[in-house]
Amino acid sequence: MPKSLLSIQGVSKNFAEIEALQGISLEIYSGEIVGLVGSNGAGKTTLLRLMAGVYKPTSGSVNLSNGQAVTSMRQELGVVPESTGLYSRLTAWENIRYHSRLHGAPDSLSWARTEKFAEHLDMKDSLSRHTKGFSRGMKQKTALLRALAHGPNILLLDEPTAGLDITSARTVRALVRQLRDEGGTVIYSTHQLAEAQQVCDRIVIIHNGEIRADGSPSALLQDTNTDTLEDAYVSLTQDQARTRQEEKDKESAFSGWWRRLFTPRTPNTTLEVIEDE
């Protein structure tokens, strides 16, 4: 049986009165591509951020195979977030090198890995260019190289082909499969069922903060007695999907006061005094 790399046990995550995830339990095994599939607001990004140690669970645990929390072993993870977060005044390589140094990787290792994967992504000639003028696709490829450069054991991808042209998206999917074939482990979040079927060995369907199914594409079809993944998905998610709310944090008293201070007012309007809560 494959080795478990990441264990998620009974995890719930609340944002004020909103329960983004409810009692999620999931094992991630070595050498597989796991697709997190769900609509916008299903909880995919929240789950990825818990896996990356960006969020702490309200209840439950997210641990690596050695029992340590992911927050203490982030060098084991490579993350491509929904927003690339590149520094526009730095070159692609400078962005990658800075990130790798934060993970404790020597420049020689990160450069060798960057060169290797940049060849596959047709990015080698762009590594010395500043990212300010990059297209969405080039920024996405740079973020992928940045996530791979320090040699992570687990790669977390949040909608990695969103906004990419057909050729670039196909290249990214091919690279993900190559990483799997070389023994890597990938968590691949997407709301595109066709993409998940092309790339993933295993599909986890998330709906309204709950896991509705977990298995290979063929197993999902068999379990739901359907002919297509789309039919399987619909049969498992018949209740109405919630809107995407988990990232709407409550405005602080200070930020509310600051916003109102610089908002044009009519002559008869008085400035409301906001007290600390």
pLDDT of 126 over the 70 cut: yes
pLDDT class of 127 with cuts at 50, 70, 90: very high
CATH numbers and ranges of domains, the chain: 4-88+149-261 (3.40.50.300)
Beta strands in the chain (DSSP E): 4-15, 18-29, 33-37, 59-64, 77-80, 154-158, 185-190, 202-207, 210-215
Q: How many CA atoms lie within 13 A of 247 on its CB side?
A: 12
Lookup: tokens for 260: 């109102």
pLDDT tens digits along 73-111: 777 889 998 888 899 999 999 999 999 998 889 999 999
Q: What sign does the CA torsion over 143, 148, 149, 152 have?
A: positive
Q: What is the pTM assigned to this prediction? A: 0.80
| Better-scored residue on pLDDT, 165 or 13 | 13
